[in-house]
C-alpha cells in the first residue's frame, strides 16, 4: 500500500479473504490478478479452464455467490468476502452433483474442455430456477460454447438433473 501525498490510498495488493468450495482462503493478491489465476495458480484448482479470455466462451465459468462469472475477466479483489464455487467443489467421483451425474448419463461432452464451465453455468441456472423451460435453458446456456457440438445432450442433461433434483 502506498499513501500518496494527498488523496486516498493506492493499492498494489489487496488482503483477500474469501470462501472457495466451502473453505476459507486468505492472502495478499496483486490488484491486477484475475480470479482464474488465483484459482489455478495459487489454489491449484485447475478444473476451471482458460480459453477465450474475453467473456465469450464460458470455459472459465465459476459461481461467485451463486452467480455464473467469467473467472478470466473477473478481478480477484472483487471476491473479497464472497463465496466462490468451482467444479472441484461440486461433487466427487463417488458422490457427483446431480448435474455431473446427468452429464455422464447423457454424454454431455466429447473432448471435455468446456465441460466444467458448462456444469458450473448449469449449476447457476438450477440455483436460480429449479425448473427451467427448454427456452430458459437455451437462453442461459447460450454463453457457454461447446465446439464439439454437444448442445442437445447438454440441454437434455440439465433437464434431467432438474427433474431428478425436484423429485428428490
Partner 1 sequence: MLRPFRLLEPTTAMEASAELRRLGDQARVYAGGAELVLLMRHGILQTDYLVNVKGIPSLHGVTWDGTVARIGAATTHSQVERDPIVRQRLPTLAQSAGTIGNIRVRNQGTIGGNLCFADPHSDPEAPLLVHDAQVVLSCTAGERRLPVDDFLVGTFETAIQPDEILTGVEAEPLPTGFGQAFLRIERYHRPTVNVASGVRAAEGRIAEARLAVGCVGARTIRLRDLETRVTGLGVDEATRVGREYGPILTELLEPVDDLLGSAEYKIHVACVLLGRAIGEAAHTNEAAES
Give residues in contact with partner 1 (CB under 8 A): 2, 6-12, 14, 30-34, 37, 53-56, 58, 61, 64, 67-70, 73-75, 77-78, 121, 124, 140, 142-144
- What's the min distance (Å) between Cβ of 94 and partner 1? 30
- CA angle 81–41–64, rounded 5-degree value: 30
DSSP SS3 for 100: helix
Using a 10 angstrom Cβ sphere, with 0-12 exposed, 13-18 middle and 19 or more buried, the burial of residue 167 is exposed
- What's the min distance (Å) between Cβ of 144 and partner 1? 8
Pick the closer one to partner 1 by CB: 32 or 107.
Answer: 32
- What's the min distance (Å) between Cβ of 77 and partner 1? 7
How far is the C-alpha of 109 from the C-alpha of 129, rounded, in Å? 23
Pick the closer one to partner 1 by CB: 50 or 159.
Answer: 50
Q: Is 84 left (phi over 0), alpha (psi -120 to 50) or beta?
A: beta
Pick the closer one to partner 1 by CB: 138 or 148.
Answer: 138
- β-strand partners of 123: none
- What's the min distance (Å) between Cβ of 139 and partner 1? 8
Evaluate whether 141 touches 162 at the Cβ level (below 8 Å).
Answer: no
Pick the closer one to partner 1 by CB: 121 or 153.
Answer: 121
Evaluate whether 114 touches 154 at the Cβ level (below 8 Å).
Answer: no
Chain-centroid distance of CA 54 in Å reads: 15
- What's the min distance (Å) between Cβ of 168 and partner 1? 27
Place of cell 463417488: 94
Pick the closer one to partner 1 by CB: 43 or 72.
Answer: 72
Amino acid at each position: 500500500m502506498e499513501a500518496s501525498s494527498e488523496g486516498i490510498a493506492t493499492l498494489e495488493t489487496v488482503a483477500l479473504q474469501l470462501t472457495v468450495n466451502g473453505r476459507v482462503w486468505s492472502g495478499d493478491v496483486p490488484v491486477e490478478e484475475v480470479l482464474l489465476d488465483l484459482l489455478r495458480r495459487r489454489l491449484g484448482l485447475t478444473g476451471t479452464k482458460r480459453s477465450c479470455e474475453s467473456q465469450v466462451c464460458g470455459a472459465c465459468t465459476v459461481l461467485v455467490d451463486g452467480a455464473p462469472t467469467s473467472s478470466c475477466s473477473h478481478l480477484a479483489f472483487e471476491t473479497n468476502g464472497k463465496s466462490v464455487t468451482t467444479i472441484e467443489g461440486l461433487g466427487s467421483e463417488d458422490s457427483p452433483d446431480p448435474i455431473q451425474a446427468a452429464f455422464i448419463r447423457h454424454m454431455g461432452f466429447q473432448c471435455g474442455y468446456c465441460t466444467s464451465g458448462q456444469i458450473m453455468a448449469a449449476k447457476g441456472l438450477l440455483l436460480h430456477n429449479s425448473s427451467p423451460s427448454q427456452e430458459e435453458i437455451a437462453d442461459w446456456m447460450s454463453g457457454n460454447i461447446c465446439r464439439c457440438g454437444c448442445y442437445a445432450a447438454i440441454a437434455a442433461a440439465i433437464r434431467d438433473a432438474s427433474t431428478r433434483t425436484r423429485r428428490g
